[in-house]
Amino acid sequence: MISTKLNYKLQGSLQLQGDKSLAHRCLFFSLLSPEESKIDHLPTTADVQSTIRCLKQVQSSQTWQVFDCQNSGTTARHLISLLCASQIAGKMIGDTSLQGRDMLRITSHLMASGAKLKMTNERYLPIEVFASDLHLSQYELKIASAQVKSSLLYLASLCYRPIKKKKKIHSRNHTENLLTHMGAEINVKSNTLFFTPPQHFRPLHFSIPADPSSAAFIATAALLSSGSNVEFKDLLLNPTRIGFFDILQKKGAPISWQITDSSIEARGKLKVSWWQNPLAFEVSADSIPSLIDELPLLFFLATQAEGTSCFQGIEELKHKESNRIDSTLELFESWGINHYQMVGNKLFIPGGQPIRKLSSWQSHDHRLSLLRAIGNFSFNGTLDQPSECWQVSYPGLVDDLKQLMLAI
């Protein structure tokens, strides 16, 4: 175990905010039913607030509106399906980060179905949407994107038309779980998904479980802090979302979980303790969809382990709020961690690399900024000043650390 200057351990239990991936989908899908839905434990994060604002605009029946998705790719990719299916004309915009994210992965399918769109440089926001008639049938997904898959299933639900989709690789299945609960019929044969909407969608009555992606930040600090023992209550335990915990547990990390309810989504409690002798691990391409947002945390844990860790199939990280491969390695450099190697599509990170200095490195990418905070805390207990970009996913990180901190 690499020694640190940390004089604290993390002890106690946490009830984190609701999972934002589920929250976005619940909000959009609630429009499918003519009956009233009730969604509890919605997170107050900026991303989810973007979805709420845009849906209020959709329901206002005003002509030609400007929809500001701010930083939320999930909002943008579901909203464009909603506007196209509902023949609502308008303009979609976002912040600088979102305007740099490729929308062609969803708009190409929409335009092939008859949607009339005017995009910036043929693939970016701002995007103008014009009323048009759609024809849906079959789609082939070249990438393992849960957002694209979900947007197309939402489009088919809004149009009340069956579709089939060929999938390259499995991804998060929140959309399938929610739509099935609302009455849709979904069957998967080999790599093809067959979707048939019901005549009438049932309303959603659902309390959103806590966010495992937020839990992974606290868990990382606990794994590296001597004597730590943290329990997360009512946590989302969908297998397609807990790859981070699964991979580490298989390498001997003291992580355990118990499912207490599996209706709609698996949920329960998860416990994490200090990992006294962390070992290197390997992340295969097949496992990426279940831990895509937690990869930077795994990169960091790899630097603290014994042996060399290997990561494959991580190209999708280049298409997030930043190029999260390059950004994470820049952050490492600011800590004095500089041993890693890219060989083709594989990233090798040797362990035994302690943080040598606090980092003041800045990023607009919320997950990278949060990672810097966890690394600085693990080094000597420093609590970073919350950054504005934390509002996107985990604004309460420092408060949660304070709640758990006990002096050694």
- pLDDT single digits (tens) 26-43: 999 999 999 999 999 999
Walk me through the domains of the chain, giving residue ranges and CATH numbers: 8-18+209-407 (3.65.10.10), 20-206 (3.65.10.10)
Q: Is the peptide bond before 126 cis (omega within 30 degrees of 0)?
A: yes
Which one has a higher pLDDT value, 63 or 55?
55
Nearest Cα residue to 362 out of 319, 321, 399, 331: 331
Q: What is the dihedral of CA 168, 22, 237, 103, to 10 degrees?
A: 30
**Residue 332: pLDDT band by 50, 70, 90 thresholds?**
very high
Backbone angles phi, psi at 14, to 5 degrees: -135, 145
**Residue 5: pLDDT band by 50, 70, 90 thresholds?**
low
The rounded distance, in Å, linking the Cα atoms of 236 and 263 is: 12
Please determine, for residue 155, whether its predicted confidence score (pLDDT) is greater than 60: yes
At 39, is the secondary structure helix, strand, or coil? Answer: strand
The rounded distance, in Å, linking the Cα atoms of 357 and 309 is: 23
Please identify which residue in the block is written with the tokens 């994210």.
Answer: 101
Nearest Cα residue to 296 out of 384, 217, 376: 217
Please determine, for residue 290, whether its predicted confidence score (pLDDT) is greater than 60: yes
Q: Within 10 A of 7 (CB to CB), how many other CB atoms are there?
A: 12
- Give the model confidence (pLDDT) of 307-322 as tens digits: 999 999 999 999 899 9
Question: Percentage of residues in the chain with pLDDT exceeding 90?
Answer: 90
**Residue 190: pLDDT band by 50, 70, 90 thresholds?**
confident
Average the pLDDT over 335-344 and give the result. 96
Average the pLDDT over 258-283 and give the result. 97
Q: Is the peptide bond before 254 cis (omega within 30 degrees of 0)?
A: no
pLDDT at 1: 42
Give the pairing type, strands 405-407 and 8-14: antiparallel
pLDDT at 167: 66
